[in-house]
Amino acid sequence: MMRKTIALTSIALAAFGALALVLVTSAQAQQLPKARNGTLFCGGSYNFEGNDLSKPVNMVTWNLRNYNGNRTILIDRIRLYDATGAVLFDSDTDGLPADRRDILGGPDNNQLGPYQTVQFRSDDLVDGTFPFVPGSRRPIQFVVDWSADRRAIVLDGSQIRRVFDASFNELSRHQYDCRRR
């Protein structure tokens, strides 16, 4: 009888634990910010150290992530600004650039499907050659406008700053979260 009681108690505790885990996970998912549209702001820079092409190169990579399991996010517009506010790139005039994974790019290919992640690099923009931005016009900003057909977990973004030597061997990297509005 004692073993039966212990076994039933163990089963009840396991079931309660599983239910609690489901409820906590569900509550956490519901606490994630949701919206139908928004803007993501990411920092960044790009330069050759000392304006010398033989010195290490600082490059920026931006990752955009759709954490929704059943919602597609549309990337409506991407802009790149220098420190003075001048536009360096605008997908409204230059077209949506292809990302490193060939998921996005072009006028009819702006959908970031469920759980998809795309990556853009600073040197991929402006016809594959990012213009040298002098120190007086850095750092730059990467701005993404997005939308969804209904409320969705907001688009997530991060900036990864990478430093390369003259032979393009990666020396270091650091990740920063982008800001949302």
Q: How far apart are CA 118 and CA 62, in angstroms?
A: 8
Q: How far apart are CA 91 and CA 79, in angstroms?
A: 6
pTM: 0.73
Q: List Cα–Cα distances, 162 to 42, 55, 89, 159, 180, in angstroms.
A: 15, 14, 21, 10, 23
Cα 148 vs. chain centroid, distance in angstroms?
A: 16
**Fold (topology level) of 34-180:** Immunoglobulin-like (2.60.40)
The confidence score (pLDDT) of residue 130 equals 55
The pLDDT tens digits for 18-74 are 554 444 444 455 677 899 999 999 987 665 555 555 555 666 788 999 999 999 999
The confidence score (pLDDT) of residue 114 equals 97
Q: Is the pLDDT of residue 75 over 80?
A: yes
Cα three-residue angle 71-18-11, rounded to 5 degrees? 155
The mean pLDDT value for 172-180 works out to 82
Q: Where are the domains of the chain?
A: 1-31, 34-180
The confidence score (pLDDT) of residue 52 equals 57
Sign of the torsion formed by the C-alpha atoms of 128, 120, 70 and 146: negative
The pLDDT tens digits for 100-154 are 888 887 667 899 999 999 998 877 775 544 556 666 777 888 999 999 999 999 9
Closest among 125, 131, 146 to 40, alpha carbons compared: 146
